[in-house]
Structure 1
Amino acid sequence: MEYCSSGSLLSVLESPENAFGLPEDEFLVVLRCVVAGMNHLRENGIVHRDIKPGNIMRLVGEEGQSIYKLTDFGAARELDDDEKFVSVYGTEEYLHPDMYERAVLRKPQQKAFGVTVDLWSIGVTLYHAATGSLPFIPFGGPRRNKEIMYRITTEKPAGAIAGAQRRENGPLEWSYTLPITCQLSLGLQSQLVPILANILEVEQAKCWGFDQFFAETSDILQRVVIHVFSLSQAVLHHVYIHAHNTIAIFQEAVHKQTSVAPRHQEYLFEGHLCVLEPSISAQHIAHTTTSSPLTLFSTAIPKGLAFRDPALDVPKFVPKVDLQADYNTAKGVLGAGYQALRLARVLLDGQELMLRGLHWVMEVLQATCRRTLEVARTSLLYLSSSLGTERSSSVAGMPEIQELKVAAELRSRLRTLAEVLSRCSQNITETQESLSSLSQELVKSRDQVHEDRSIQQIQCCLDKMNFIYKQFKKSRMRPGLGYNEEQIHKLDKMNFSHLAKRLLQVFQEECVQKYQASLVTHGKRMRVVHETRNHLRLVGCSVAACNTEAQGVQESLSKILEDLSHQLLQDRAKGAQASPPPIAPYPSPTPKDLLLHMQELCEGMKLLASDLLDNNRIIERLNRVPAAPDV
């Protein structure tokens, strides 16, 4: 076999960086390799019987990727799916409870074991890789309290994936989810937890077989991940779907994680609106990463990232010099420090995603303002140019021509619509100024995030703590320390504690408090954005309604003027043959002047009607452009 130079999975998990489990990408590599190795064993009728992190070796591939291999087949034997064995092998923390009862508790029993005992060991191993700890922990530890360890594994309720006893003689507590300190996304956890629940099953009749295990794990490994940042909730989600799934299935998966219904889901990607048709393949979604996700809009209240304060997981040094205990304490403190560093990066990235997403929304709203303002001003210009001449007023007041009275009323309505459009234009201009002011605030906030040095401060503390930790690691292998070395060791303990306190102080004051303040500010800005969006919709509807009504008024006005013009032509023809009419009791324009004026007015109204029709076509085209998403 080739030399695996990077130790075992156990050594990877023993590193303080992985005290709370592997990162998601690395865990998926472990899952893929373990499933492939077990699949090969089952194809050849082999049961391993001692699967654990210590028997999974790691090497680094040519491209720097991890490769994990199942090793140590000293306990393996040929066994088909329907065969049983009675001999007992394995490591007790990873043993199936039936084997544990016989091998560890030494209780006589006549049970025979099948290939599914490997599935139990795989379940414990995967839980360990995902969380950094064993799933079943009695008070005092598995090796010190074996009877309680057996009780936890055999009394575990259906669906539970972990159990613990927090205090001596205390009750057993069950967990149905992975701990909050786990680095796996909720999207992956939702796929993994049902698998763990069904292979960590004591009763072999209820436990999955290898066929179902391979089917479900392969289903996970064949999925692609789409990163979605919910701007309103300020949370980054990992959505696992198959590449051949439709957008509708993707939206349902987003719904499960965010509670945002598909009909309310609108997306931006890198500043551009994404129109996702439910019937097309999810392959059309752009490639996303944690730093470049799809941005989802909704009206939800910002809740931010949920996490456990690393300070709660920091052990304390014992006063006396105990090399092994000091090493274990330093390892635990360092693990909490690395967890704080990861959380600090996530919180800072979350602030960046919030500000970047809001910036994109500002751009979309500004574009909406420009389009609506252009339509309003164009319509206003047409109306103003048409209504600039009031020459018809001299004839509009003639009581004996009812049609001219109606025409005057219609022109009055056009003036009213022009006033409405003028107010809308002014309103949009004020909204643009408000958005520009908010955009300037976002620029300042982004500059502050980019200037943040809390990550560097935490990293500096960790580097110094790591140096002391390595000294403790060497010292624990020695039988004892001389007087001078012991004094140096005590000083190192003091320095280590001081660095840990400083690290956690930076995390709390520079990272957590700023993040919480940013969430409050983000919530206020999102409310402003939502109100502005709704306001622009109302203004846009008013502009569109004014254009539609103006077109109707203009058509009615044109028809009246055409009828009047036609009537005057007929009256003129009849007047040439009839006797002169009696003198009117008050002066009136001659038929010739009235006819010329009506013709002028008719031509002007026709031009206005044509302009309004063109304007409506522009509005219709704008309405077909996707609207800015609800926020």
Structure 2
Amino acid sequence: MQSTANYLWHTDDLLGQGATASVYKARNKKSGELVAVKVFNTTSYLRPREVQVREFEVLRKLNHQNIIKLFAVEETGGSRQKVLVMEYCSSGSLLSVLESPENAFGLPEDEFLVVLRCVVAGMNHLRENGIVHRDIKPGNIMRLVGEEGQSIYKLTDFGAARELDDDEKFVSVYGTEEYLHPDMYERAVLRKPQQKAFGVTVDLWSIGVTLYHAATGSLPFIPFGGPRRNKEIMYRITTEKPAGAIAGAQRRENGPLEWSYTLPITCQLSLGLQSQLVPILANILEVEQAKCWGFDQFFAETSDILQRVVIHVFSLSQAVLHHVYIHAHNTIAIFQEAVHKQTSVAPRHQEYLFEGHLCVLEPSISAQHIAHTTASSPLTLFSTAIPKGLAFRDPALDVPKFVPKVDLQADYNTAKGVLGAGYQALRLARVLLDGQELMLRGLHWVMWSSSVAGMPEIQELKVAAELRSRLRTLAEVLSRCSQNITETQESLSSLSQELVKSRDQVHEDRSIQQIQCCLDKMNFIYKQFKKSRMRPGLGYNEEQIHKLDKMNFSHLAKRLLQVFQEECVQKYQASLVTHGKRMRVVHETRNHLRLVGCSVAACNTEAQGVQESLSKILEELSHQLLQDRAKGAQASPPPIAPYPSPTPKDLLLHMQELCEGMKLLASDLLDNNRIIERLNRVPAAPDV
């Protein structure tokens, strides 16, 4: 046990260790509060006095929720070593989060945004106080879980920090080599003499590497054999990187350098967020300090991302869920352009449904009028493009193999890699299953928004078909329309039953549970391997058990990937084929309804013309009747004709009756035309 005047800790409770100090979990002697104490070793006292006290001074100057808090500076009783008493973060560091097999391919989008928000806020506080950190990396970003279960990340380890204005330079070298700016790497790691001075932008390079690591689960610059085994190639990758590239790798020994301008397909971030993030990474991972962004631009661009809202859009044609990042004050037109960039569906061809209801989006109004969406309740985008499905990398391609011999460290690393691929398979299985659900649900909504099922007004079309024989031609057309509508109803009813049956099958799918069961068993073995690697060796019986565990682990991994391929991928691909056929049926139905609407509209126009003619004749007859009556009052009655002929009065009554019938027919046609227009108010978009 060791202690200061107010704090107590055991040397077994080591949280971290560096070249000049160790960090332990400690308790307040009076309150029992958990804290972290940083105890400096003898090496630290060999440094100049101003360097020794710099960390104390920096921490005393800072006060921010995303900067680790300094509670006190004390000394141990015996050796009188300096001790920093700081805030304790029980959830480890960002590095420990990324080293979890579950995050082998990077953080989920929501968690990444939390990291981005916290790091940007913490760095902004440093720059406001004129401080450069000089050792930004995932291991120096601690994670604390808030009262509501949310992650809070805090910058820590200010041993290399110092005050530095934007236009000042420094020449001393600090940091961790994978995250070092290439100019610092050249002198600190390659030991090459050079007279370069460094500015505050070296922190931006380290932030860029850290954010890439958080987004992908791996470092951006990887020579063959790893960064620490091939330092010269590591330096070449970082210094020869073309403008705009955000990653570089050497795939084989003495092989060429390959550049990446996008995040890998295994990354969990949506394309919407990636499109915002990649330009930032490209401009802070810039080796020439003159070309690198300054902190002002970095803060402006990252704040722009963090201030955006997300609108979830499921493209029914692509069968892909998109995250569209826009500002709340943007117009619908800007939202539609953002959708266009991600889906290639032009704004004029975008049709939207939300929770089964048509969404008519006026381009000039604010995007705030769009309903609140989630990943499980997105806007459904409908277009006539051929379904493509989600693009992904098969997790089986990232599964390493166990070496035949017992090698505790190698076996642990292999198990970690296999488990990471297993978690990736689980995540993809969930995405594919959710995609099938959204496909079926969205198609159901589109189908019924375009059909006439469930609408009582359909009876009016049937009534219209039975109108009087005096306009038999129009009645025959309406009868055919009514028959077409009935046939359409039957077709859509059959398709609806298919969709219900398919959705039931999706809900009954147990592949997720099977994959999770395999992962749970693999995780148990992985934890055993993690413990074993710390031991110098294994006894005979323990070694045999270890071999059996390796065998079982491999079998479980094989079973997991088999379920993923046969139960998830194959069913998803089959559902895409069926989805494409159903989409064609819905498109044909919509076009058919449009033709019916045109026929009813034509009947309406013709009926209006007939009504106008009848009204004109009626007026003429009424005028003639009035004239005849005036003449009859002055003349003798006419002789009786051998055969009775209709008088103007009889014609007038007949024409009035016919006119009333035409008014009734015209009214029915107008009503039916209104129904058809409503059924087809969402025009089918042409192929894009």
**TM over 0.5, shorter chain:** yes
Measure how far apart 1:54 and its partner are. 0.5
Q: Tell me which moved more, 264-273 or 392-401.
A: 392-401
Are the aligned partners of 2:91 and 2:145 in contact in 1 as well (CA < 8 Å)? yes
Question: Take 2:679 and 2:454, find their aligned partners in 1: how far apart are those partners?
Answer: 41
Are the aligned partners of 2:467 and 2:475 in contact in 1 as well (CA < 8 Å)? no
Measure how far apart 1:511 and its partner are. 0.1
Are the aligned partners of 1:330 and 1:469 in contact in 2 as well (CA < 8 Å)? yes
Deviations 1:207-230 (A, max 9, x none): 000000000001001111110001
Are the aligned partners of 1:96 and 1:120 in contact in 2 as well (CA < 8 Å)? yes
The residue matched to 1:99 in structure 2 has which SS? helix
Q: Tell me which moved more, 572-581 or 73-82.
A: 572-581
* Shift in alpha-carbon separation, 1:244–1:117, aligned structure 2, 3 A: same
The percent of aligned pairs where both chains have the same amino acid is 100
Are the aligned partners of 1:548 and 1:616 in contact in 2 as well (CA < 8 Å)? no
Question: Take 2:381 and 2:667, find their aligned partners in 1: how far apart are those partners?
Answer: 42
The residue matched to 1:395 in structure 2 has which SS? coil
Question: Take 2:116 and 2:451, find their aligned partners in 1: how far apart are those partners?
Answer: 89
* Shift in alpha-carbon separation, 1:460–1:205, aligned structure 2, 3 A: same
Are the aligned partners of 2:215 and 2:267 in contact in 1 as well (CA < 8 Å)? yes
Structure ranking higher in strand proportion: 2
Question: Take 1:322 and 1:563, find their aligned partners in 2: how far apart are those partners?
Answer: 109
Question: Take 1:221 and 1:493, find their aligned partners in 2: how far apart are those partners?
Answer: 44
Measure how far apart 1:451 and its partner are. 0.2
Question: Take 2:451 and 2:322, find their aligned partners in 1: how far apart are those partners?
Answer: 70
Measure how far apart 1:430 and its partner are. 0.7
Question: Take 1:400 and 1:20, find their aligned partners in 2: how far apart are those partners?
Answer: 54
Are the aligned partners of 1:554 and 1:608 in contact in 2 as well (CA < 8 Å)? no
Are the aligned partners of 2:452 and 2:679 in contact in 1 as well (CA < 8 Å)? no
Task: Name the Cα RMSD after superposition.
Answer: 6.9
Measure how far apart 1:567 and its partner are. 3.4
* Shift in alpha-carbon separation, 1:564–1:487, aligned structure 2, 3 A: same
Question: Take 2:243 and 2:335, find their aligned partners in 1: how far apart are those partners?
Answer: 30
Are the aligned partners of 1:222 and 1:242 in contact in 2 as well (CA < 8 Å)? yes
Question: Take 1:595 and 1:413, find their aligned partners in 2: how far apart are those partners?
Answer: 17
Question: Take 1:625 and 1:495, find their aligned partners in 2: how far apart are those partners?
Answer: 56
* Shift in alpha-carbon separation, 1:462–1:424, aligned structure 2, 3 A: same
* Shift in alpha-carbon separation, 1:556–1:591, aligned structure 2, 3 A: closer
Question: Take 2:672 and 2:87, find their aligned partners in 1: how far apart are those partners?
Answer: 75
Question: Take 1:576 and 1:395, find their aligned partners in 2: how far apart are those partners?
Answer: 60
Which 4+ stretches in 1 moved above 4 angstroms?
Answer: 392-413, 568-631
Structure ranking higher in helix proportion: 1
Selected match of 2:606 from 535, 549, 569 = 549
Deviations 1:251-283 (A, max 9, x none): 111111111111111211111111211121111
Q: Tell me what 2:499 maps to.
A: 442
* Shift in alpha-carbon separation, 1:600–1:279, aligned structure 2, 3 A: closer
* Shift in alpha-carbon separation, 1:606–1:490, aligned structure 2, 3 A: closer
Measure how far apart 1:544 and its partner are. 2.1
Question: Take 2:553 and 2:458, find their aligned partners in 1: how far apart are those partners?
Answer: 100
Are the aligned partners of 2:222 and 2:249 in contact in 1 as well (CA < 8 Å)? yes
Measure how far apart 1:599 and its partner are. 5.5
Are the aligned partners of 2:488 and 2:589 in contact in 1 as well (CA < 8 Å)? yes
Measure how far apart 1:548 and its partner are. 2.4
* Shift in alpha-carbon separation, 1:616–1:552, aligned structure 2, 3 A: farther
Are the aligned partners of 2:102 and 2:420 in contact in 1 as well (CA < 8 Å)? yes
Measure how far apart 1:348 and its partner are. 0.2
Question: Take 2:113 and 2:614, find their aligned partners in 1: how far apart are those partners?
Answer: 72
* Shift in alpha-carbon separation, 1:455–1:409, aligned structure 2, 3 A: closer
Are the aligned partners of 2:143 and 2:153 in contact in 1 as well (CA < 8 Å)? yes
Deviations 1:64-94 (A, max 9, x none): 0011111001111111111111111111000
Deviations 1:100-149 (A, max 9, x none): 00011111100000000000000000000000000000000000000000
Q: Tell me what 2:677 maps to.
A: 620
Question: Take 2:450 and 2:301, find their aligned partners in 1: how far apart are those partners?
Answer: 83
Are the aligned partners of 1:267 and 1:629 in contact in 2 as well (CA < 8 Å)? no
Q: Tell me which moved more, 231-240 or 596-605.
A: 596-605
Are the aligned partners of 2:618 and 2:652 in contact in 1 as well (CA < 8 Å)? no
Question: Take 1:524 and 1:396, find their aligned partners in 2: how far apart are those partners?
Answer: 21
* Shift in alpha-carbon separation, 1:80–1:417, aligned structure 2, 3 A: same
Measure how far apart 1:48 and its partner are. 0.6
Structure 1: which 5+ runs fail to align?
A: 363-391
Are the aligned partners of 1:558 and 1:605 in contact in 2 as well (CA < 8 Å)? no
Q: Tell me which moved more, 532-541 or 396-405.
A: 396-405
* Shift in alpha-carbon separation, 1:559–1:76, aligned structure 2, 3 A: same
The residue matched to 1:504 in structure 2 has which SS? helix
How many pairs were matched up? 602
Are the aligned partners of 1:297 and 1:629 in contact in 2 as well (CA < 8 Å)? no
Q: Tell me which moved more, 610-619 or 600-609.
A: 610-619
Are the aligned partners of 1:16 and 1:331 in contact in 2 as well (CA < 8 Å)? yes
Measure how far apart 1:585 and its partner are. 9.7
Are the aligned partners of 1:454 and 1:506 in contact in 2 as well (CA < 8 Å)? yes
Deviations 1:481-518 (A, max 9, x none): 01100000000000000000000000000000000000
* Shift in alpha-carbon separation, 1:321–1:19, aligned structure 2, 3 A: same
* Shift in alpha-carbon separation, 1:46–1:230, aligned structure 2, 3 A: same
The one of the two structures with greater contact order (alpha-carbon pairs below 8 A, sep at least 6) is 1
* Shift in alpha-carbon separation, 1:197–1:577, aligned structure 2, 3 A: same
Measure how far apart 1:358 and its partner are. 1.2
Question: Take 2:170 and 2:203, find their aligned partners in 1: how far apart are those partners?
Answer: 13
Question: Take 1:276 and 1:498, find their aligned partners in 2: how far apart are those partners?
Answer: 52
Measure how far apart 1:586 and its partner are. 8.0
TM-score w.r.t. the length of structure 2 is 0.81
Measure how far apart 1:588 and its partner are. 5.0
* Shift in alpha-carbon separation, 1:199–1:603, aligned structure 2, 3 A: closer
Question: Take 1:133 and 1:396, find their aligned partners in 2: how far apart are those partners?
Answer: 53
Q: Tell me which moved more, 294-303 or 557-566.
A: 557-566
* Shift in alpha-carbon separation, 1:197–1:101, aligned structure 2, 3 A: same
Q: Tell me which moved more, 479-488 or 270-279.
A: 270-279
The residue matched to 1:585 in structure 2 has which SS? coil
Are the aligned partners of 1:297 and 1:630 in contact in 2 as well (CA < 8 Å)? no
* Shift in alpha-carbon separation, 1:584–1:402, aligned structure 2, 3 A: farther
Are the aligned partners of 1:9 and 1:57 in contact in 2 as well (CA < 8 Å)? yes
Question: Take 1:280 and 1:38, find their aligned partners in 2: how far apart are those partners?
Answer: 37
Measure how far apart 1:545 and its partner are. 2.0
Deviations 1:222-261 (A, max 9, x none): 1111100011211100000111111111111111111111
Selected match of 1:398 from 455, 465, 471 = 455
Question: Take 1:402 and 1:231, find their aligned partners in 2: how far apart are those partners?
Answer: 32
* Shift in alpha-carbon separation, 1:396–1:235, aligned structure 2, 3 A: closer
The residue matched to 1:396 in structure 2 has which SS? coil
Deviations 1:461-493 (A, max 9, x none): 000000000000000000000110000000000
Are the aligned partners of 2:312 and 2:324 in contact in 1 as well (CA < 8 Å)? yes
Q: Tell me what 1:305 maps to.
A: 390
Are the aligned partners of 2:320 and 2:435 in contact in 1 as well (CA < 8 Å)? yes
Measure how far apart 1:562 and its partner are. 4.0
Q: Tell me what 2:133 maps to.
A: 48
* Shift in alpha-carbon separation, 1:409–1:515, aligned structure 2, 3 A: closer
Measure how far apart 1:577 and its partner are. 7.0
